[in-house]
Amino acid sequence: MWATRRRFTQEYQDQAVGLMLHPGRTVRDVAKSIGVHEITSGKWVSKAKEGETGPDKEPSETERAESDRLRKENATLRMERDFAKKVAARFVRQQP
């Protein structure tokens, strides 16, 4: 006969993931200690990490500010690069 499929609450999964992400503990060790298959617990970790940085998550105010700052810096660096190219091209043309 087949064994009944065990169901775990989201809270239980979150606590298990917290243990697995704790330094010095491996997914395998935690999975064995709580009686869950290693693949199942690995899926829980992947799901938790995806939720942290998933495509549906809005960036925080800090992340948004950093992104804006980097865009401005990138634009400035592009202008400086283009100017340096033009100066170098003009300098080469003036050489005898």
Q: Residue 31 above 60 pLDDT? A: yes
Model pLDDT for residues 58-69, shown as the tens digit of each residue: 778 998 999 999
Higher pLDDT, 93 or 52: 93
* Dist. CA 38–CA 55, nearest whole Å: 26
Beta-carbon contacts of residue 1 (< 8 Å; ≥ 6 apart):
none
Q: Which two tokens stand for residue 95?
A: 């050489």
Q: Which two tokens stand for residue 21?
A: 């992400």
Angle (CA) 64 57 76, round 5°: 25
Query: What is the model's pTM?
Result: 0.50
Beta-carbon contacts of residue 14 (< 8 Å; ≥ 6 apart):
48
